[in-house]
Chain A
Amino acid sequence: MASRERVETRVLNVARVVWLAIVLAGCVVPLLYMVLLSVRPLQAVLADPLDMLPSLSELNLAAYERVIASPEDGGYGLLSFFGNSLIVALGSVVLTVALSVLGAYAATRLRFPGKNVINTSFFAVYMFPGIVMAIPLFVLFSRLGLRGELPALIIIYLASTVPVSVYMLRNYFRSIPQGLEDAAMVDGCNRSQVIWRIVLPLAMPSIAATSLYVFMIAWNEYLFALLFLLESRDNWTVSLGLAQLDDISVSATVLMAGSVLLTLPVVVLFFAAERLLVEGLTAGAEKG
């Protein structure tokens, strides 16, 4: 009895394990390959491309030295781009979180005209193709003489991350009981004191998740960096600098070393706060 149930369950269990193995391999192998290739000499790779595991004797960090070193020292100057990426990413985080906290607070706690429109149509921002918005912004920033400058990028990343940030914070604010804020109001705090002393400390987990999200978007971004910064090499972000290396046929090991350096900060941050980030992004999705 119930044999079909049993057969299906067994087949599905096997299929589940096989699929998870494939998916996991697909997600991990490229990263692993990136790291393994970056610590080997190019000759060893070319001699036997399938020999993935480097022998201890051939391990070396020459590719890293090469990609970091400034052009005067015969390197590719990737290190100097880290400062730019940090400025852009941290600038975007600070501005976005500041604006989103205010916006999300208003959207959860206050009644004001137009609130529903904002709550429902904010996501329409993501319907506009980035490359299409880039055209007038390209013209505008060129005219203003801001095109090659980092603030131009920060403004764009701010606008493109603010809707998701407001959404993440809003979901969290909803879960904080309002009693504390009301009590503080009764005790004579004004609105800004309530936000600063009550809401902010309570919302820290969500603010951390939101910051992480914004940081990753800004750190990883490529299109606008390419469009706006290409002609001002001093302001290149790491993403842009590394992509440009690919154009001048740099050896694969050096490219992989650069990729590891570009990826590492994001992956470390992600694994440090994965649960926080996932919860922040998907709160509200359970309800469907």
Chain B
Amino acid sequence: MGPDGSRTTAPDSGPNAGADRRPASAPAWEPARGRRRGPSLRAREARAGLVLVSPTVLIVLLVVVLPFLWTILISFQRLRLIDLQNVFDITLTLRNFETVLGSSDLWEMVRTTLIYSVGGTILSVGAGLLTALALRQRFPGRMIIRAFVLVPYVIPVVSAALVWRTLLNPQFGPVNVFGVEVLGWDQPIGFLSERFHRVEVFGLGVDLPIALITVIVFEAWKTFPLAFLFILARLQGLPRDLEEAGRVDGATPLQRFRYVVAPQLSGVIALLVLLRFIWTFQNFNDIYLLTRGSGGTEVVSVQVYNYLISRNDVGGAAALGLLMSVVLIIAFAVYYRYGVLKQESEV
């Protein structure tokens, strides 16, 4: 859908052409030929519209769409940071993809990224939904609580990561000190460094991927306010009479949620799930700042960064980045296919 943005100068046609705020007068827009006095009002309006909108479109094309297309080219070039003059060397090669696909830790990394994105998405949207439902009814202090709930989303990711690193620090972090001194843990837990931590549950030993769980929880903590905000807005737009009718008919609160409220939230939740999945899948900051990708948290975006900066391999970074985008495009296409986005295109 992205490159579609470049179609801005194409004639406006198709069934949506007249879907304006104003009633569509006969031809959607017509060149002003045949009129005597200069261009028609309609044509001037069209020109003014294009002029006004072109800077925004241009900047997005130049900084987002074109670079993405360029990435495709780079992924087939042998390009290293030290010899950037090779940018114009159009000898195409598949070596980058061979390197990336041949690396031994690729599948481990893909698995980690998928677990991270799916887990982060579910926790984030789930927590957002619960919080929105809990704050639905008016009560004193509700708006203040809403403001505080948004704080994790608002603060800089660098501060958030530093606080979490300090809180979870194995030596003096209060979480570990509390665990050891009060809860009686044998030893502090390396929340951000241990790949697996053995936990006894009912006499069964379970190896928890502790660092991965921690970064997932961090991601959910940082982003659930967004889901909360949009679900709450949707909740407040719901007509109350349907639920009232359900109550009169004897539906309990849970039934009213299940059969009356939930169906009306499905659109916004589906959209949030898509957005959160896409953003978590490509998230670099959180994991880079928290663990640098150690302890079993190496996700694709961190690896792209490593290709680019540590290995100076621009071509490899582009190839891996492109493969990563393919997953996102698939996610997007699945959604588009099922029409979730159409009904929510206003959000």
Binding site for B on A (CB under 8 A): 2, 4-5, 8-9, 12, 16, 19-20, 23-24, 26-28, 30-31, 33-34, 37, 45-46, 49-50, 52, 99-100, 102-103, 105-108, 110-118, 120-122, 124-140, 142-143, 155-156, 158-160, 162-163, 166, 174, 191, 216, 219-220, 222-223, 227, 239-240, 242-243, 246, 252, 255-256, 258-260, 262-263, 266-267, 270-271, 274-275, 278, 281-282, 284-288
**B304-347 with Cβ < 8 A to chain A:** 304-305, 308-309, 314, 317-318, 321-322, 324-325, 328-329, 332, 343-347
Contact between A285 and B237, CB atoms less than 8 A apart: yes
Contact of A223 among B65, B149, B221, B284 (CB under 8 A): B284
Least Cβ distance of B21 to chain A in Å? Answer: 7
Contact between A23 and B177, CB atoms less than 8 A apart: no
Contact between B252 and A110, CB atoms less than 8 A apart: no
Contacts of B301 in A (CB 8 A): 129, 131
B164 interfacial contact with A, CB 8 Å: yes
Least Cβ distance of A17 to chain B in Å? Answer: 8
Complex CA distance for A125 and B232, rounded to whole angstroms: 25
**Max chain A Cβ within 10 angstroms of own Cβ: one of B63, B229, B250:** B63
Least Cβ distance of B339 to chain A in Å? Answer: 13
Contacts of B157 in A (CB 8 A): 220, 222, 239
Closest to A137 in B: B67
Complex CA distance for A105 and B253, rounded to whole angstroms: 44
Contact between A135 and B5, CB atoms less than 8 A apart: no
**B228-282 with Cβ < 8 A to chain A:** 229-230, 232-234, 236-237, 250, 252-254, 264, 267-268, 275, 278-279, 281-282
B185 interfacial contact with A, CB 8 Å: no
Least Cβ distance of A21 to chain B in Å? Answer: 10
Least Cβ distance of A98 to chain B in Å? Answer: 8
Contact between B167 and A33, CB atoms less than 8 A apart: yes
Q: Using A124-B5, A126-B278 as known contacts, list a sample of 8 further A-B pairs with CB atoms less than 8 Å apart, ordered by residue number in A.
A: A5-B253, A26-B152, A30-B164, A30-B167, A33-B174, A118-B8, A243-B161, A288-B344
Contacts of A278 in B (CB 8 A): 146, 150, 229
Tell me what chain A mostly uses at the interface: helix, strand, loop, or mixed: helix
Nearest 7 interchain pairs by C-beta: A112-B49, A286-B237, A159-B63, A129-B282, A110-B49, A132-B321, A282-B233
Contacts of A191 in B (CB 8 A): 48
Contact between A286 and B234, CB atoms less than 8 A apart: yes
Question: A50-B177, A262-B158, A274-B150 known; A103 and B53 CB under 8 Å?
Answer: yes
Question: A5-B253, A128-B325, A139-B84 known; A133 and B147 CB under 8 Å?
Answer: no
Contacts of B345 in A (CB 8 A): 120
Least Cβ distance of A101 to chain B in Å? Answer: 9
Contact between A256 and B59, CB atoms less than 8 A apart: no
Complex CA distance for A129 and B167, rounded to whole angstroms: 30
- How many residues in B have their beta carbons less than 8 Å from beta carbons of A? 127
**Across the A-B interface, how many residue pairs have beta carbons closer than 8 Å?**
343
Complex CA distance for A276 and B67, rounded to whole angstroms: 34
B16 interfacial contact with A, CB 8 Å: yes
Least Cβ distance of A193 to chain B in Å? Answer: 13
Least Cβ distance of A22 to chain B in Å? Answer: 10
Complex CA distance for A191 and B324, rounded to whole angstroms: 45
Contact of A114 among B10, B81, B234 (CB under 8 A): B10
Contact between A103 and B174, CB atoms less than 8 A apart: no
Q: List 23 A-B contacts (CB under 8 A).
A: A2-B250, A5-B252, A8-B253, A9-B253, A26-B221, A27-B148, A46-B172, A103-B57, A107-B53, A110-B49, A111-B29, A112-B47, A113-B12, A128-B68, A133-B63, A138-B308, A143-B87, A156-B63, A159-B63, A160-B64, A191-B48, A252-B166, A263-B156
Complex CA distance for A130 and B156, rounded to whole angstroms: 17
Contact of A124 among B2, B143, B154 (CB under 8 A): B2
Closest to A120 in B: B345
Contacts of A258 in B (CB 8 A): 162
Question: A50-B178, A114-B12, A266-B156 known; A131 and B162 CB under 8 Å?
Answer: no
